[in-house]
């Protein structure tokens, strides 16, 4: 019987290869508790939605996206039911170009197929043979993968984190800064100023991004746009579609249809 995943991770001090990601190996198991690795992780779901959280914020990726997690960054990963994870682990020396913080990157059709093909290689693939060449091409594609930029930053102020955590649990909540200022005993202006200073977003934009990210799992699973919009707090479907297009560069239908067709 295999030891618990946490024990396997603790025992894995060195990757078998600079790029590691066998489809049936350790990297494809989801760890919902906070942990860190001495290597880079690319958390990618070929189906479903992967949700990575670090102290800096929340990074959500449907199959058109993946989350880059640098070595040493504490994080936890959660996925929707039925999600198929095909993560990669990368020796930092093999990716000196890697970003220092977590980020969401776009996964092109080519990059997606490379990840799938690489996952079928044996763990101990020949680094000088076809497996090594495939790994080199995959790393090259990752180096050029554009940042998707749809990230929900989290504030560091304890009062704001309390507010944001509650809103994450209830994205359809109608409570605004005024209600939260009373609850927290802080002026509305102070909350607004702190949130913008610590996240770069106004309260309206932060909650809009939260709602859009909260709708991704339902949309990826095939839910109607109307249902997803209402469930995440939008009263107007047209407003939801406009906000979605602004964040993702396409309407919900176009965004997920492009994935299905590729």
How many whole angstroms separate alpha carbon 14 and alpha carbon 220?
A: 35
> 84 and 47, same structural domain?
yes
- Tell me, yes or no, whether 132 and 166 share the same domain: no
Rounded to 10 degrees, the C-alpha dihedral 112/118/119/123 comes to: -160
The domain spanning residue 54 has which CATH number? 2.60.120.280
Domain edge (last residue) among 143, 173, 194: 143
Q: Are residues 158 and 131 in the same domain?
A: no
Q: 3-class DSSP state for residue 155?
A: coil
Residue 192 pLDDT: 97
**Domain co-membership, 239 together with 180:** yes
Contact by Cβ (8 Å): 107, 72: no
Q: Tell me how many domains the chain contains.
A: 2
121: which DSSP letter? S
Task: Please name which of 65, 67, 53 lies closest in space to residue 250, comparing C-alpha atoms.
Answer: 65
Q: Are 174 and 230 in the same domain? A: yes
Number of residues written out for the chain: 262
Residue 108 sits at the vertex; the CA angle it makes with 103 and 111, to the nearest 5 degrees, is: 90
Query: 205-210 long-range contacts, Cβ below 8 Å, gap at least 24?
Result: 206/152, 206/153, 206/164, 207/167, 207/171, 207/233, 208/243, 209/150, 209/152, 209/247, 210/152, 210/164, 210/167, 210/168, 210/171
Give me the tens of pLDDT residue by residue for the chain, a chain 262 residues long. 334 444 455 556 678 899 988 554 444 445 567 888 899 999 998 888 999 999 999 999 999 999 999 999 999 988 887 888 888 999 999 999 998 899 999 999 999 999 999 988 988 899 999 999 999 999 999 999 999 878 999 999 999 999 999 999 999 999 999 999 999 999 999 999 999 999 999 999 999 999 999 999 999 999 999 999 999 999 999 999 999 999 999 999 999 886 655 5
Q: Which of 143, 171, 202 is the last residue of a domain?
A: 143
Domain range for residue 194? 152-261
Residue 211 CA, distance from chain mean position: 15
Residue 93 carries which DSSP code?
Answer: G
Which of 92, 112, 143 is the endpoint of a domain?
Answer: 143
pTM exceeds 0.85, yes or no = yes
Cα(66)–Cα(150) distance, integer angstroms? 11
pLDDT at residue 5, as a whole number: 43
């Amino acid at each position: 019987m295999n030891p618990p995943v946490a024990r396997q991770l603790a025992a894995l001090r060195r990757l078998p290869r600079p790029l590691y990601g066998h489809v049936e190996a350790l990297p494809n198991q989801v760890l919902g508790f906070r942990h860190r690795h001495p290597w880079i992780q690319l958390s990618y779901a070929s189906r479903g939605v992967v949700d990575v959280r670090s102290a800096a914020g929340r990074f959500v990726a449907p199959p058109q996206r993946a989350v880059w997690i640098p070595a040493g960054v504490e994080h936890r990963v959660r996925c929707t039911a039925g999600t198929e994870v095909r993560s990669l682990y990368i020796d930092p020396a093999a990716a000196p170009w890697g970003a220092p913080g977590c980020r969401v990157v776009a996964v092109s059709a080519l990059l997606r197929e490379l990840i799938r093909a690489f996952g079928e290689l044996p763990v101990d693939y020949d680094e000088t043979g076809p497996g090594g060449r495939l790994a080199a091409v995959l790393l090259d594609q990752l180096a050029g993968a554009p940042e998707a930029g749809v990230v929900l930053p989290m504030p560091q102020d304890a009062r704001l984190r309390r507010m944001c955590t509650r809103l994450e649990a209830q994205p359809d909540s109608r409570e605004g800064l005024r209600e939260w200022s009373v609850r927290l005993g802080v002026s509305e202006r102070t909350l607004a100023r702190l949130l913008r200073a610590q996240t770069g977003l106004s309260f309206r934009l932060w909650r809009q991004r939260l709602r859009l990210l909260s709708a991704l799992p339902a949309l990826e699973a095939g839910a109607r746009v109307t249902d997803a919009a209402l469930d995440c707090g939008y009263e107007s479907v047209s407003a939801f579609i406009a906000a979605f297009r602004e964040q993702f560069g396409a309407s919900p239908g176009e965004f997920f249809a492009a994935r299905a067709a590729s």
